[in-house]
């Protein structure tokens, strides 16, 4: 039995798109012990997916957090036979130099035994890029993201069908990746008019944003700050569809296999990072506009089949 390390630090959308590689590594190393090095926000998903024997959340220590640095060094030097660096960043590549031994390494770090040497890697969608990386390390069967294992009791939310999930928020420092809140409100009103309940998801910091939409669309429901990641996946399986900005929860919902409309501005390239579902057939439709302020509510409603 060998010890294997997988590195995936975040963010949420990237973590969701690594679920297929996680499953493939688990299958390939069925008799081995696999440790995931990640960060705290993703521990819940990591535990629930069943791919790992141990999870360490000290993957991105603050510069003065000596305890976290000690944890990182212990984790990296636990005697692994192979490391799969699925983060493939400058930070995670540097971690190879912190290991006293020289385990086999899949990634882009200098001296890697199984380098992802494809010169086009930065022009590949995240899922194809990770598949290509694992193929070069001898793992050839990598599934699409799937959260069918994510189960939670969502009865406490008191939802009745049909409902559509809406994700109006996103990174606070990337406002250009958000469709205007009043457009979400217009879309929510249209949903209510055809007998569908808009259910809004967001963080605690996004409570004012979601409250604004609910005030403009009475009958919409805000679950801002009330859901775990596992609960979001469970809510998705009961939803008719979802619409959201290019943000982590949209990726998580897409992995549940329901129809998703993902809204992209010029700030990100869907060819590299669009959400993907667990089926080869398309479950995600991307709408892109250079500025999301130019994307009208009727176009999104049509993509959701609400007209």
Across the chain, which has 307 residues, the per-10-residue mean pLDDT values are 97 97 98 98 97 98 96 98 98 97 96 97 97 98 96 95 96 95 98 97 98 98 98 97 98 97 97 91 90 97 87
Rg of the chain over all Cα atoms, to the nearest angstrom: 20
Split into its structural domains, the chain has a count of 2
- Domain end point (choices 136, 168, 192): 136
| Per-residue pLDDT, 306 | 77
> Do 160 and 220 belong together in one domain?
yes
Same domain? For 170 and 261 the reply is yes
Statement to judge: residues 100 and 161 lie in one domain: no
Residues 172, 286: one domain?
Answer: yes
Would 143 be classed as within a structural domain?
Answer: no
Q: Which two tokens stand for residue 52?
A: 């790992």
Residue 19 covered by a domain: yes
DSSP strand E in 50-204: where? 54-56, 82-85, 104-107, 114-115, 163-167, 197-200
The per-residue pLDDT for 281 is: 65
CB 239 within 8 A of CB 199: yes
How many Å from the N-terminal Cα to the C-terminal Cα in the chain? 57
- Domain residues for the domain of 125 are 3-136
pLDDT at 279: 83
142 domain-assigned: no
Q: Do 255 and 297 belong together in one domain?
A: yes
Final residue of a structural domain among 136, 171, 199: 136
CATH assignment of the domain containing 29: 3.40.50.2000
Angle at the Cα of 201 (from 175 to 288), degrees rounded to 5?
Answer: 45
Q: Taking the CB of residue 188, how many other CB atoms lie within 10 A of it?
A: 28
Please check whether residues 87 and 117 belong to one and the same domain: yes
Alpha-carbon distance of 126 to 123, in angstroms, equals: 9
Residues 118 and 164 in one domain: no
Residue 166 lies in a domain: yes
The pLDDT score that the predictor gives to residue 223 is 98
Task: From 72, 105, 136, give the residue that closes a domain.
Answer: 136
Decide if 276 is inside a domain.
Answer: yes
Q: How far apart are CA 259 and CA 228, in angstroms?
A: 21
Residue 127 shares a structural domain with residue 21: yes
């Amino acid at each position: 039995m060998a010890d294997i390390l997988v590195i995936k630090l975040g963010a949420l959308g990237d973590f969701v798109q690594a679920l297929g590689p996680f499953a493939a590594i688990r299958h390939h190393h069925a008799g081995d012990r696999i440790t995931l090095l990640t960060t705290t926000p993703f521990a819940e998903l990591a535990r629930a997916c069943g791919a790992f024997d141990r999870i360490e959340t000290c993957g991105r220590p603050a510069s003065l957090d000596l305890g976290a640095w000690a944890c990182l060094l212990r984790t990296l030097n636990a005697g692994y036979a192979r490391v799969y660096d699925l983060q493939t960043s400058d930070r995670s590549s540097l971690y190879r130099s912190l290991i006293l031994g020289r385990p086999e390494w899949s990634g882009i770090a200098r001296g890697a035994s199984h380098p992802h040497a494809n010169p086009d890697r930065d022009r590949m969608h995240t899922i194809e890029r990770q598949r290509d990386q694992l193929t070069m390390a001898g793992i050839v069967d990598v599934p699409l993201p799937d959260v069918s294992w994510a189960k939670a009791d969502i009865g406490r939310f008191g939802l009745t069908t049909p409902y559509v999930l809406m994700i109006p928020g996103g990174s606070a420092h990337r406002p250009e990746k958000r469709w205007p809140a009043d457009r979400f409100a217009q879309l929510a009103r249209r949903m209510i008019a055809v007998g569908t309940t808009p259910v809004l998801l967001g963080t605690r910091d996004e409570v004012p944003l979601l409250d604004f939409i609910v005030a403009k669309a009475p009958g919409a429901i805000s679950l801002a700050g009330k859901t775990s990641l596992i609960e979001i996946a469970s809510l998705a399986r009961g939803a008719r569809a979802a619409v959201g900005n290019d943000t982590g929860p949209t990726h998580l919902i897409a992995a549940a296999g329901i129809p998703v409309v993902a809204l992209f501005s010029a700030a990100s390239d869907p060819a590299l990072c669009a959400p993907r579902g667990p089926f080869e057939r398309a479950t995600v439709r991307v709408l892109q506009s250079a500025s999301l302020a130019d994307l009208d509510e009727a176009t999104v409603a049509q993509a959701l089949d609400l007209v």
